[in-house]
Structure 1
Amino acid sequence: MDPHIAEAVKRPDLVSLRPDLVCLRFESMKLHSALGAVRHLLETGVVRPGDTLVDSSSGIYAHALALACHRYGMKCHIVGSTTVDRTLRVQLEILGATVEQVRPSEDLRLDQESRVRRIAEILARNPTYHWMRQYHDDIHYLGYREVAARLDREIPDGPLTLVGGVGSGASTGALATWLREAGRDVSLVGVQPFGSVTFGAQHVADPDMIIAGIGSAIEFRNVRHALYDRIHWVGFDCALSGAVQLLRDTGIFAGLSTGAAHLAAHWERRRDGARTHVFIAPDTGHRYVDDAYARHREAKDPDALKPHEITDLRDLRRPWSTAARADLRLPNSPRPADRRD
């Protein structure tokens, strides 16, 4: 029996779609990130019950942090983007979190930078608040250790290819790290939207793609570029096709990043059938109904889609490109300031 709903909601499902293709499905993946981080902060005495935790979020992490604070008796303050909709905001307020949203901006960089500036103002007035820094503090790796252990237990021995959105770097980076430390042969494939700076795609725009969650317009220090073996940049049309096909074939209703990961995993599987391929579904598809699933008739047959393979970021192009990470000229990713215990 779970002591709190957060412990139940965080538990993922492992769904075998084919003998060598598995979906790691979460209702809300970032609960692992938030619960693990808050628990570690309490255990190490960095914060105490009753303290206020603050962070910026486009939505999913806000809900995860609010539930983690509810679970451990903390206060929560969220600086949210305009993607925090009414349904989520009402939940956050009832859970006891305080929420403020920055002014709407069509420029994601300005949106993210304004949220960071607002947090700095809040901390200056409230020095006892603790900034969670989901994008930069590698304590957010800790909560995924148990997920990696389950993958190691339940997936037969042999080489794995793990496919998922890069985002803040904590989820895919942590799972690959823990699995490799357990001795598994893991190839890590990161999914990115066009326009994200994380792997150098900021010069290719995709106005339809919902970038928040799997990419970034600012640098995330939790992303360790060297962990990734291959990158797929997937546009809206391809991500939609992957998501619709996944729902049609398997009944799994998930977000756009899942559609992109599903598409990339199928391509990787065709390239190397000797590995078990696991792709991550980090959330459900409910918040994508109006902007994506309502256009399901536009979805293409994923088997008819293939990526443009590149070795130079100048050749990056929509709707789908891929490259081995070793072929890309990228800056060394800075290490987070905090130690991963």
Structure 2
Amino acid sequence: MDEHISETLSRPALIRLDDRTTCVRFETMKMASALAAVRHLLHRGVITPGDTLVDSSSGIYAHALALACHRHGLRCHIVASTTVDITLRTQLEILGATVEPMPPTANLKLDQDRRVARVQEILRAKPRHHWMRQYHDDIHYLGYRPIATLIRRELDGQPLTIVGGVGTGASTGALATYLRDATLEVSLVGVQPFDSVTFGSDHVRDPEIIIAGIGSAIPFANVRHTLYDTLHWIGFDAALAGSIALLRDHAVFAGLSTGAAYLAARFERRADSRRHVVLLAPDTGHRYVDAAYTRHAQALTAHDLQPHQITELAEMKLPWSRMNWNAAPAPTAAATDAALQSAS
């Protein structure tokens, strides 16, 4: 029996979608990384009960960190993106977190830059606060080790293709690392929105980009680009089609990043018949109902969509592009000098 809801939420459900596709479905995926990171810091004596943990977030990580702090008697301060809605903000406040919203902006880079700058201001004023650095510290890889063990046990050593939104790199990067360390044959497929610097799509604008959490307008030190074999860039319209198809075909109600990953997973399944595809579903679809799911009658049909295969980043275009990344290093705009520690 779990002692706290954070422990329950850190474990996914594994759902077999077909004979060669498994969905790893979370309610809040970053719960796994936040809880393990907090426990690691407590164990090392870096933080103690009563300390304040601070970070910026567009939503899911804020919820995860607030729950981890609630579990371990810590204070929590969130510098919140404009994408944090009233439902989440109310939960955070009741959990005891301090929520500091940033002013509205239509510019993702400005929003992320301002949030990180504000965190640094807070740390200068209150140096005893601990910055969790979800974008930059690969302590957040640790929580995915037991999930890799679960996948390995359930899928019994089959060659795997892991498909998921990249975001901070912790979930996909950690799973591929731990599974490869266990000598499994693993292909890693990352999913990105357009207008993200992480894998060089910042020159392509998506007018309806609201796929929170899987792209970035600033460099993320946690993303190890050389882990990835293939990249899919998927826009809002295609991601919505994927989300609706996943709900219709398999009754899995998930966010837009999962819908994008579902399109990529279906394609990769057809492309390599030897491998079992593992689809990461990091959250539910509730926060996308008004902005996306209510438009289901006008949505594209997922079965009619195919990616535009590219060999150079300059060739990518909406609504969906695919490229063999082949463990290439980070694009210039995504390179970072931040030193990464071992995730082991």
Q: Does the alignment reach a TM-score above 0.5?
A: yes
1:174 is aligned to: 174
Higher mean alpha-carbon deviation, 299-308 vs 59-68, is at 299-308
Matches within 5 A, 1:294-309: 294-309=294-309
1:148 is aligned to: 148
Residue 94 of structure 1 aligns with an amino acid whose one-letter code is I
Matches within 5 A, 1:33-112: 33-112=33-112
User: Using the alignment, how far apart are the partners of 2:233 and 2:220 within structure 1?
Assistant: 17
What's the offset of the Cα at 1:9?
Answer: 1.7
2:253 is aligned to: 253
1:276 aligns with 2:276: yes
Higher mean alpha-carbon deviation, 168-177 vs 209-218, is at 209-218
2:343 is aligned to: 340
Tell me the secondary structure at the aligned position of residue 280 of structure 1: strand
Q: Is residue 16–residue 22 contact of structure 1 (8 Å, CA) maintained in 2? A: yes
2:232 is aligned to: 232
2:193 is aligned to: 193
Residue 52 of structure 1 aligns with an amino acid whose one-letter code is T
Q: Is residue 196–residue 211 contact of structure 1 (8 Å, CA) maintained in 2? A: no
TM value normalised by structure 1: 0.97
2:219 is aligned to: 219
Runs of 4+ with >4 A deviation? 331-335
User: Using the alignment, how far apart are the partners of 2:247 and 2:303 within structure 1?
Assistant: 15
Percent pairwise identity:
62
What's the offset of the Cα at 1:327?
Answer: 8.6
C-alpha distance after superposition, 1:79-130 (max 9, x if no partner):
0011111111111111110010111111000000001111111111101000
Tell me the secondary structure at the aligned position of residue 197 of structure 2: coil
Structure 1 unaligned blocks of 5 or more: none
Q: Is residue 59–residue 80 contact of structure 1 (8 Å, CA) maintained in 2? A: yes
2:157 is aligned to: 157
Q: Relative to 1, partners in 2 of residues 1:337 and 1:266: Cα closer, same or farther, differing over 3 Å?
A: closer
What's the offset of the Cα at 1:334?
Answer: 4.8
What's the offset of the Cα at 1:211?
Answer: 3.8
Tell me the secondary structure at the aligned position of residue 120 of structure 1: helix
What's the offset of the Cα at 1:328?
Answer: 6.2
C-alpha distance after superposition, 1:216-264 (max 9, x if no partner):
0000000000000000000111100110011011110000000000000
C-alpha distance after superposition, 1:289-335 (max 9, x if no partner):
01110111122222211000001111110000000113967346656
What's the offset of the Cα at 1:336?
Answer: 3.8
What's the offset of the Cα at 1:210?
Answer: 1.3
User: Using the alignment, how far apart are the partners of 2:280 and 2:342 within structure 1?
Assistant: 26
Q: Is residue 219–residue 336 contact of structure 2 (8 Å, CA) maintained in 1? A: no
Q: Is residue 193–residue 214 contact of structure 2 (8 Å, CA) maintained in 1? A: yes
User: Using the alignment, how far apart are the partners of 1:65 and 1:198 within structure 2?
Assistant: 24
1:205 is aligned to: 205
Tell me the secondary structure at the aligned position of residue 84 of structure 1: coil
Q: Is residue 16–residue 23 contact of structure 1 (8 Å, CA) maintained in 2? A: yes
TM value normalised by structure 2: 0.97
1:30 is aligned to: 30
C-alpha distance after superposition, 1:157-207 (max 9, x if no partner):
220000000000001000110111111100000000000000000000002
User: Using the alignment, how far apart are the partners of 1:327 and 1:312 within structure 2?
Assistant: 14
2:8 is aligned to: 8
1:288 is aligned to: 288
Q: Is residue 28–residue 60 contact of structure 1 (8 Å, CA) maintained in 2? A: yes
1:113 is aligned to: 113
Q: Is residue 211–residue 257 contact of structure 2 (8 Å, CA) maintained in 1? A: no
Structure 2 unaligned blocks of 5 or more: none
Residue 343 of structure 2 aligns with an amino acid whose one-letter code is R
Q: Is residue 211–residue 256 contact of structure 2 (8 Å, CA) maintained in 1? A: no
User: Using the alignment, how far apart are the partners of 1:285 and 1:66 within structure 2?
Assistant: 20
C-alpha distance after superposition, 1:25-46 (max 9, x if no partner):
0000000110011001001111
Tell me the secondary structure at the aligned position of residue 326 of structure 2: helix
C-alpha distance after superposition, 1:271-299 (max 9, x if no partner):
11110001111000000001110111122
User: Using the alignment, how far apart are the partners of 1:160 and 1:287 within structure 2?
Assistant: 30
Tell me the secondary structure at the aligned position of residue 27 of structure 2: coil
Q: Is residue 226–residue 328 contact of structure 2 (8 Å, CA) maintained in 1? A: no
User: Using the alignment, how far apart are the partners of 1:25 and 1:335 within structure 2?
Assistant: 31
Residue 79 of structure 1 aligns with an amino acid whose one-letter code is V
What's the offset of the Cα at 1:141?
Answer: 0.2
